[in-house]
């Protein structure tokens, strides 16, 4: 069993807030992250998959394939986008990094299987100080 | 003559576009950076000042004072904000990193003098791949 | 179950030595880390907590709260301090990074529970080459 | 139980290919990594060991000893070398990062025991985007 | 006058040696970098250009254009290549980082002018410890 | 003319204070950096030298020689030391990063000439946020 991780990046706008909260409540709960005019981040994404090394190639998966899947399933939907208003897989979810990690897991879990590997971890750096890991359960 | 640099960070939304361009023209010139729903970045700012070491303290400037000035003059206006719509010193400017560096220079040039130093460079990392330096002329 | 990590930093002096060792024994066991005049580090601390996402907020914990707890319980006691002589929770312990990780765990375990999360890992970078992880058992 | 990690680095040439593949097949499977004239990397290696803190020293292991073992068992064989043609412990293996991680595990597993610790993880950064972890099973 | 920097990366094999030196002389002058079986690096390249901000776009240059030029003129020739044997613009030069910086300058100086900017600096990190800057004179 | 930079690191204790100040005055001017029990840092040092490439070797200087000189003239005196009490070239100077940069310049200026290069810059990162550059005048 070996673990392989691919790093990808995307830049997005977002805002933390609830429709059913007043502006004041949103500010109280989410602080400056609730700014109605949005703010944004350079998100860094680490996707880890696991499985057995293919003796034919010495690879668990070809990282080009893993990168392509992450691009197609995740980055193209969220890079230079607004997480709250135009990302299909974030619809109906608060745009927190926790929820983003879960949504990215759902986007990747099945496609990764086509590579003969199993999704192990979705890690997101929202900033260099704030990091979320999700292991699918 | 010695040079001291303070690193600060801020997270902001922005969009590259011109009001007098059609959406199509904006996409052609600014690409995905023109997304009407905004995107954003973790900006990293390096402010360098220069001058002579004060023999009383061994300091060019007290970095707490330099940090405070950057916070008051820059970070409080742009952190968790939208560079296009709510930052007074970016009003009327395209929200490019080049223009942001120039605007930050203008915010800092005079206050830095009150510390007995001279502003030397404003450097901004928009991403780890895209960096702007402005030396005031 | 989701994992959230907050990075914090502190700068401290320390020395590795035993009172019941001669200077020569200390040098033999601890090398230059036993220098009687102290040395120091920029320590980087990563605190990971785990739990369930609150559907009200999309948060596991508000990272401001987690940061505040780390500041109050850990950073205020050790930042710009001497780990051997003035940190209550290091009293009677050799000032190794291993012991520091354990002591920080003890400081944080209970307060983190008040946030509705469970402490998962205390990771410390003493230098970019030397790293300790403690998972509480 | 505590975990300690030592970072080491080495620079090496390698090539991904199979002798029993034509050049065209190699290009198809391994892409530009199959270049017959080699290419290379700055590999970053993180070796994690685990065990109990020695109350005499406050150490799990003396990191100088761990570093020396990694130097002697791994770095001296592969730093400034060609992974395909002159590294004894890579003989007969495709020079993928996955296989390299396994081979380094085999080099370190027994010597680490002489320090009173157990090898836990071999992590290799081939680039900042491509990372492999091996836990020995 | 503003300065913009684009970071790009490439992985290459190389060897430091002179044909007219014996193996022993090469080892004496170039150390382990003269290994006849090659070694390699993840090179990080920072290209800085300077000029005036275009008031139409807020850009000095469009970083996509600068990136494309660096890809076409530099990265495609050297990424996953052997600097000594197959890079046209390194022919007849010792494959040191100093010479590589000069050769990259020559590749970029004219094309950068087509963007309306002037090449200012070619900076190469061979490793995190070894860095070369070339300003064209 | 080419510029080459070597990165080295050292860990040291220090304290910012004046003997002729009361504890209270020291706290007022130097804040927590004046803690009488010391604190410390992982200092990162970048030494840049400049000159002409030797056509025999492709080198400005052999970085092993530059590294050796930095080790002998600087690192051996300050690594795992107390900058205030046991570093000959800091005697009589306030242990600020500004003064440290100047003192390191004085240590290196002449020895670097023996390599056929000229010292250009001493840069010190005290933390990732606080950086000093000294160019010798």
pLDDT in tens, F39-54: 999 999 999 999 999 9
Domains located in chain C, CATH noted: 2-134 (3.30.479.10)
The pLDDT score that the predictor gives to residue A27 is 97
- Our answer to whether residue B86 is catalytic in this structure is no
User: What number is the average pLDDT over the span A43-47?
Assistant: 98
Helix axes F97-113, F63-70, angle to 10 degrees: 130
Q: How many Å apart are CA E87 and CA D38, to the nearest integer?
A: 13
Instruction: Give the residue among D135, D118, D80, D88 at the shortest CA–CA distance from D3.
Output: D118
Supply the mean pLDDT for chain C: 97
Helix axes A97-113, A63-70, angle to 10 degrees: 130
**F132 CB near a chain B CB, below 8 Å?**
yes
Q: Quote the tokens at residue D134.
A: 């091996």
Query: Catalytic one among F39, F72, F76, F80?
Result: F80
pLDDT in tens, A95-125: 999 999 999 999 999 999 999 999 999 999 9
**B41 CB near a chain A CB, below 8 Å?**
yes
The pLDDT score that the predictor gives to residue A132 is 98
Q: A–B: how many Cβ contacts below 8 A?
A: 71
| H helix or E strand, kind and range, residue F68 | helix F63-70
Q: How many Å apart are CA F94 and CA E94, to the nearest integer?
A: 45
The pLDDT score that the predictor gives to residue C127 is 98
Residues C35 and C14: beta-carbon distance below 8 Å: no
Percent of chain F with pLDDT over 70: 100
User: What number is the average pLDDT over the span B73-99?
Assistant: 98
Residue with structure tokens 């719509």?
A: B85
pLDDT in tens, A48-102: 999 999 999 999 999 999 999 999 999 999 999 999 999 999 999 999 999 999 9
Q: Quote the tokens at residue E99.
A: 């010479």
Instruction: Give the residue among D95, D77, D37, D34 at the shortest CA–CA distance from E38.
Output: D37
C137 chain-D contacts, CB cut-off 8 A: 1
**C135 CB near a chain A CB, below 8 Å?**
no
**C27 CB near a chain D CB, below 8 Å?**
no
Minimal C-alpha gap between B57 and chain E (Å): 32
- Our answer to whether residue B121 is catalytic in this structure is no
pLDDT band at D135 (very low <50, low <70, confident <90, very high): very high
The pLDDT score that the predictor gives to residue F2 is 98
pLDDT in tens, E19-63: 999 999 999 999 999 999 999 999 999 999 999 999 999 999 999
CA-angle at F7, arms to E23 and B66, nearest 5°: 165
Which of A26, A41, A132, A134 to mutate to probe the C interface, most C CBs <10 Å? A132
**F100 CB near a chain B CB, below 8 Å?**
no
Neighbouring subunits of E (3+ Cβ pairs under 8 A) = B, D, F
CB contact under 8 A, D39 and E81: yes
CA-angle at F54, arms to F48 and F58, nearest 5°: 85
CB contact under 8 A, C14 and F41: no
B71 chain-A contacts, CB cut-off 8 A: none
Sign of CA dihedral F22, F28, F29, F34: positive
pLDDT in tens, E75-127: 999 999 999 999 999 999 999 999 999 999 999 999 999 999 999 999 999 99
B95 chain-E contacts, CB cut-off 8 A: 58
Sign of CA dihedral A91, A95, A96, A100: positive
Strand-pairing partners, residue A44, are A9, A125
CB contact under 8 A, B102 and E1: no
A86 chain-B contacts, CB cut-off 8 A: 37
Minimal C-alpha gap between B130 and chain E (Å): 5
Residue F96: phi and psi, rounded to 5, are -80, 160
Q: How many Å apart are CA D98 and CA D95, to the nearest integer?
A: 8
Q: Quick one: DSSP state of residue B73?
A: I
One digit per residue, the tens of pLDDT, for chain C of length 137 reads 999 999 999 999 999 999 999 999 999 999 999 999 999 999 999 999 999 999 999 999 999 999 999 999 999 999 999 999 999 999 999 999 999 999 999 999 999 999 999 999 999 999 999 999 999 99
Residue with structure tokens 């020559």?
A: E106
CB contact under 8 A, F58 and E95: yes
Instruction: Give the residue among A124, C56, D99, A96 at the shortest CA–CA distance from A133.
Output: A124
pLDDT in tens, F108-126: 999 999 999 999 999 999 9
Query: Catalytic one among E33, E41, E109, E121?
Result: E33
Three-state SS at D41: strand
Minimal C-alpha gap between D118 and chain E (Å): 30
Three-state SS at C46: strand
Instruction: Give the residue among B83, B70, B74 at the shortest CA–CA distance from B40.
Output: B83
Q: Where are the beta strands (DSSP E) in chain E?
A: 2-14, 39-51, 81-82, 118-125, 130-134
Instruction: Give the residue among E40, E49, E50, E51 at the shortest CA–CA distance from E100.
Output: E40
The pLDDT score that the predictor gives to residue A79 is 98
**A32 CB near a chain D CB, below 8 Å?**
no
Residue with structure tokens 């009677």?
A: C92
Burial of B137 per CB tally in 10 Å (0-12, 13-18, 19+)? exposed
Percent of chain C with pLDDT over 90: 99
Three-state SS at D48: strand
Q: Quote the tokens at residue B12.
A: 């902001």
Q: How many Å apart are CA E74 and CA E89, to the nearest integer?
A: 9
Q: Kindly report each contact of residues C83-91 with a partner whose C-beta sits within 8 Å and lies 24 or more positions away, as own/partner.
A: C83/C12, C83/C13, C83/C14, C84/C13, C84/C14, C84/C15, C84/C38, C85/F37, C86/F37
Contacts of F69 (CB under 8 A, 6+ apart): F108, F111, F112, F114, F115
E96 chain-F contacts, CB cut-off 8 A: 53, 57-59
Global pTM reads: 0.97
The string of DSSP letters for B20-65 reads TS-HHHHHHHHGGGG-TT-EEEEEEEEEEEEE--BTTTTBSS-HHH
Supply the mean pLDDT for chain B: 97
Q: How many Å apart are CA B96 and CA B89, to the nearest integer?
A: 13
Minimal C-alpha gap between D46 and chain A (Å): 14
Minimal C-alpha gap between F65 and chain B (Å): 27
Q: How many Å apart are CA D79 and CA D77, to the nearest integer?
A: 6
The pLDDT score that the predictor gives to residue F93 is 97
Residue F74: phi and psi, rounded to 5, are -125, -65
Helix axes C97-113, C63-70, angle to 10 degrees: 130
Percent of chain A with pLDDT over 70: 100
Q: Quote the tokens at residue B130.
A: 């895209």
**C129 CB near a chain D CB, below 8 Å?**
yes
Neighbouring subunits of F (3+ Cβ pairs under 8 A) = B, C, E
């Amino acid at each position: 069993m070996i673990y392989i991780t691919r790093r990808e990046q995307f830049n997005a706008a977002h805002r933390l807030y609830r429709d059913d909260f007043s502006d004041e409540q949103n500010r109280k709960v989410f602080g400056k992250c609730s700014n109605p005019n949005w703010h944004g981040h350079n998100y860094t994404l680490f996707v880890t998959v696991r499985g057995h090394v293919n003796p034919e190639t010495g690879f668990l998966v070809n990282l080009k394939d893993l990168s392509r899947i992450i691009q197609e399933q995740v980055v193209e939907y969220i890079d230079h986008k607004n997480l709250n208003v135009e990302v299909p897989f974030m619809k109906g979810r608060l745009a927190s990094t926790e929820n983003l990690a879960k949504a990215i897991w759902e986007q990747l879990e099945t496609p990764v299987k086509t590579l003969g590997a199993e999704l192990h971890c979705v890690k997101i750096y929202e900033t260099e100080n704030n990091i979320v890991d999700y292991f699918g359960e």
